[in-house]
Amino acid sequence: MVLVCLLAYYGREGTFILPSLNRKRVSAVAIRGKSLISPDDFTVEELQQVVTTANEMMDTGIDSYGDLCKGKILATLFYEPSTRTRLSFETAMLRMGGSVLGFGDANTSSVSKGESIADTARVISYYADVAVMRHPKEGAPKLAAQYATIPFINGGDGGHQHPTQTLTDLVTIARYKGDLAQQVVAFCGDLKFGRTVHSLIRTLARMQVKKFVLISPEELTLPTHLYREVQAKGVPMEVTTCLEEVIPEVDVLYMTRIQRERFFNEADYQRLKDTYILDARKMEGAKRDMIVMHPLPRVNEIAYEIDDDPRAIYFKQSECGVYARMALMALQLGVM
């Protein structure tokens, strides 16, 4: 039976332990009207509030929030293809009784006519109450937030940040594993270009996870500046190219795909794409309570035979993403 648990924050920033269920909720006032471009924009306490709210929503049931955002409008500005991020945001707002407008292809917007991000953000501020932007260029959502008068959310910018995937991952780990201070978290695959990895590892370092294990080809290692930043937080790190050697010590295995769209030439992608494939044989060496996560989409880095393993929770992770985004927008809009 899966232990359902929430994270709770006590004392100094970065200390997480299992909660008391009757503990008073942290004030959500600070999140109201606040944009989320990077996980660093929120304090650990504010991140914890989103995680706690999302888990409470899951426990209560989605039908309990059907009128929460009645009359509110979400703008989805997707300059880059997306399935889970865009649809989970739209689902989240619709589940709370709000409405959605926007585009999933920049060529159908005035961007094709040369409109700047700044002008788009100004205009959208008159049409919606909150907005999410995905863009191939790093820093584009940050620029938009500077000109908007409504909360802006970064839905992913190039290989830079993906803060709501980080919230999704925190909600998932909290629900299925609990105390972060006890977890050995392994990242496997593309650590160089993986924006989900970049956002999550920085955030988990702030929260003082027990240990990181970094598994990647030498060509796709974590960027040096990010490695040093995490190292400065004092979290132990192990670097390796071999998944089989380290999987017995791992509590949370975060698989990522080798991203074809981030490569400058096809030959390099073809050479590296099958470096790591998680299959039943490799899972034999893992802990019985280890969880396997993946931001999706997967290509072939997780064999389909793993889907039936109770430790594989990447589809449940997608479900957690809806609640994470519901909680975030509800808090930003001040309706919770």
Q: Of 162, 175, 257, 325, which one is the catalytic site residue?
A: 162
Question: Active-site residue 211, yes or no?
Answer: no
Q: Say how many CA atoms lie within 13 Å of 331 toward its Cβ.
A: 28
Among the listed residues 52, 85, 164, 256, the single catalytic one is 85
Query: How far is 118 from 34, CA to CA, in rounded Å?
Result: 18
Residue 70 annotated among the catalytic residues of the structure: no
Active site residue 113: yes
Compute φ and ψ for 78, nearest 5 degrees.
-110, 105
**Spatial separation of the C-alpha atoms in residues 142 and 149, rounded to whole Å:** 13
Positive/negative CA dihedral, 319, 325, 326, 331: positive
Within 10 Å of residue 43's Cβ, how many Cβ atoms?
Answer: 15
Q: Which long-range contacts (CB under 8 A, 24 or more apart) does 103-106 make?
A: 103/76, 103/77, 103/78, 104/76, 104/78, 105/78, 106/78, 106/79
Query: Which is the catalytic residue, given 113, 224, 225, 288?
Result: 113
Point out the catalytic residue in the list 86, 95, 134, 257. Answer: 134
Distance CA 254, CA 260 (A): 19
User: Distance between CA atoms of 282 and 245, rounded to whole angstroms?
Assistant: 10
Catalytic annotation, pick one of 34, 84, 122, 282:
84
Reply yes or no on whether 195 is catalytic.
no
262/316 Cα distance (integer angstroms): 27
Per the annotation, the verdict on 260 as an active-site residue is no
Reference 164, options 317, 26, 312; nearest CA is 317
What is the set of active-site residues?
Answer: 84-85, 113, 134, 162
